[in-house]
């Protein structure tokens, strides 16, 4: 049976990463073709019946045509009705503020932007035009806080028939003084713990360095905080996994995001890696 995966969603949400991931996994990828042409191309590829085209990944968004909604919905309906095709639709979504920042940083033009259309308006317009496509998707993936590697892992989980209940657990440290993460599932505030910053000889280290580890290991309240967070999360992770949750993000925050939050995040990741295959760790203020 042919495997057909449509990758769509908001511009700047990571569709290129998703397609590259599937290409690395042996999918024949097609990107940025108008939907009326895709009908003919897909029919021809399916008629060839070559192993090369048994796994197809199609990227479609506003680059292909300004209003691709009707064409996409027709494609979904057409190939969903075929008994010789297994079809999946993945919609990549992202927080509007994150999208604005991505376009500003890369200096790329949004597909709907023009001389008289501000970026924020273009992003909102695209989201509105794609609302029916999003509703028709099998999976909606929020990429706001995901790295490219984390998005790739989630794409593999959805598409490559990994066992049900596979959950990507993401721990991230951050500093409150540099804003709270915009997209996260849990936030734990560890600013009440002893702060190595006020020890002059420790200030320049991070929570990954042995002097900080030794300092925080010696504080009973630090151990209690770690254990309470660990014991809170542990019984609920299977429930999230059984609910077909793709990933769970746990953010640990201290003042600057370099000492206490890093230390706690490292300990939590180390603990859960003993029982889980997919545990990711990132330190926002150290990157």
131 and 27 belong to one structural domain: yes
Task: State mean pLDDT over 35-44.
Answer: 88
Domain boundary among 159, 186, 209: 159
Q: What's the whole-number average pLDDT of the chain?
A: 87
pLDDT of residue 52: 79
Task: State mean pLDDT over 186-209.
Answer: 96
Q: How far apart are CA 17 and CA 12, in angstroms?
A: 10
Q: How far apart are CA 126 and CA 250, in angstroms?
A: 30
pLDDT of residue 162: 55
C-alpha closest to that of 252 among 221, 225, 278: 225
DSSP tag of 10: S
Contact 205, 263 (CB under 8 A): no
CA atoms within 13 A on the CB side of 14: 27
118 and 205 belong to one structural domain: no
Task: State mean pLDDT over 157-181.
Answer: 80
Domain boundary among 98, 127, 159: 159
121 and 263 belong to one structural domain: no
pLDDT tens-place string over residues 64-91: 555 677 888 888 988 888 888 889 999 9
Per-residue pLDDT band for 199 (boundaries 50, 70, 90) equals very high
Q: What is the dihedral of CA 139, 144, 150, 151, to 10 degrees?
A: 40
173 and 280 belong to one structural domain: yes
52 and 115 belong to one structural domain: yes
Contact 183, 247 (CB under 8 A): no
Domain boundary among 159, 188, 221: 159
pLDDT tens-place string over residues 184-196: 899 999 999 999 9
Helix (H) or strand (E) holding 32: none
Residue whose token pair is 């300990």: 267
User: 23-27, 73-77, 202-206: which has the highest mean pLDDT?
Assistant: 202-206
Q: Domain residues for 236?
A: 168-286
SS3 (DSSP) at 192: coil
Helix (H) or strand (E) holding 30: strand 28-31
134 and 175 belong to one structural domain: no
Per-residue pLDDT band for 114 (boundaries 50, 70, 90) equals low
């Amino acid at each position: 049976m042919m495997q057909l995966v449509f990758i769509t969603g908001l511009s700047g949400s990571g569709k290129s990463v998703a397609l590259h991931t599937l290409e690395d996994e042996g999918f024949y990828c097609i990107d940025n073709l108008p939907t009326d042409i895709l009908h003919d191309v897909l029919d021809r590829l399916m008629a060839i019946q070559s192993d090369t085209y048994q796994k197809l990944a199609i990227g479609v968004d506003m680059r292909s045509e300004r209003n691709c909604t009707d064409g996409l919905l027709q494609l979904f309906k057409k190939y969903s009705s075929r008994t010789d095709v297994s079809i999946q639709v993945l919609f990549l979504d992202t927080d509007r503020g994150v999208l604005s920042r991505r376009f500003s940083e890369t200096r790329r033009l949004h597909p709907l932007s023009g001389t008289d259309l501000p970026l924020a308006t273009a992003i909102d317009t695209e989201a509105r035009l794609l609302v029916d496509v999003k509703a028709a998707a099998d999976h909606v993936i929020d990429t706001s806080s995901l790295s490219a590697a984390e998005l790739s892992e989630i794409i593999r989980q959805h598409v490559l028939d990994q066992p049900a209940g596979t959950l990507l657990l993401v721990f991230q440290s951050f500093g409150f003084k540099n804003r709270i993460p915009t997209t996260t599932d849990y936030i734990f505030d560890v600013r009440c713990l002893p702060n190595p910053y006020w020890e002059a000889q420790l200030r320049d280290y991070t929570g990954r360095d042995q002097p900080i580890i030794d300092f925080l290991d010696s504080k009973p309240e630090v151990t209690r905080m770690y254990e309470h967070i660990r014991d809170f999360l542990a019984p609920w992770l299977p429930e999230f996994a059984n609910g077909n949750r793709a990933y769970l993000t746990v953010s640990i925050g201290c003042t600057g995001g370099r000492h206490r939050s890093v230390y706690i995040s490292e300990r939590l990741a180390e603990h859960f890696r003993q029982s889980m295959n997919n545990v990711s760790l990132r330190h926002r203020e150290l990157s």
